[in-house]
């Protein structure tokens, strides 16, 4: 399967489209709160695909003790939020 291709397991963000791009991770940070049993992951990446190279994004994911999670994908150049997700994680 080519990079960035949908494998039909990714939920669509828009009725017909998902967000797929290639990129390079510039910096990442994983932190946890042992008192609240929560974890946060922050990833900064820059796109490297042929259509939109050089765009900086930030992905922030928070996971709670009850497996609920939030995820936000935003453009670092202007703070525009592309996607918000709130839901639950499940094992595959």
Please, what is the average pLDDT of the chain?
Answer: 77
pLDDT of residue 11: 46
Cβ-contact 83, 13 below 8 angstroms: yes
Convert the pLDDT of each residue in 8-51 to its tens digit.
444 444 444 556 678 888 999 999 999 999 999 999 988 887 77
Domain ranges of the chain: 41-92
Average pLDDT value for residue range 50-55: 80
pLDDT-based confidence at 57, cuts 50/70/90? Answer: confident
State CA 74 to chain mean position distance: 9
Contact 66, 39 (CB under 8 A): no
Is the overall model pTM greater than 0.85, yes or no? no
Residue 11, SS3? Answer: coil
Counting Cβ atoms within 10 Å, is residue 45 exposed (0-12), middle (13-18) or buried (19+)? Answer: buried
Retrieve residue 56's tokens.
């900086």
Sign of CA dihedral 48, 53, 57, 63: negative
């Amino acid at each position: 399967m080519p990079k960035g291709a949908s494998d039909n397991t990714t939920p669509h963000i828009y009725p017909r489209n998902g967000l797929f791009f290639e990129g390079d991770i510039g910096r990442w940070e994983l932190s946890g709160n042992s008192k609240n049993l929560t974890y946060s992951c922050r990833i900064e990446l820059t796109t490297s695909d042929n259509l939109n190279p050089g765009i900086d994004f930030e992905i922030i994911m928070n996971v709670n003790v009850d497996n609920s999670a939030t995820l936000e994908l935003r453009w670092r150049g202007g703070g525009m939020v592309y996607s918000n997700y709130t839901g639950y994680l499940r094992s595959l």
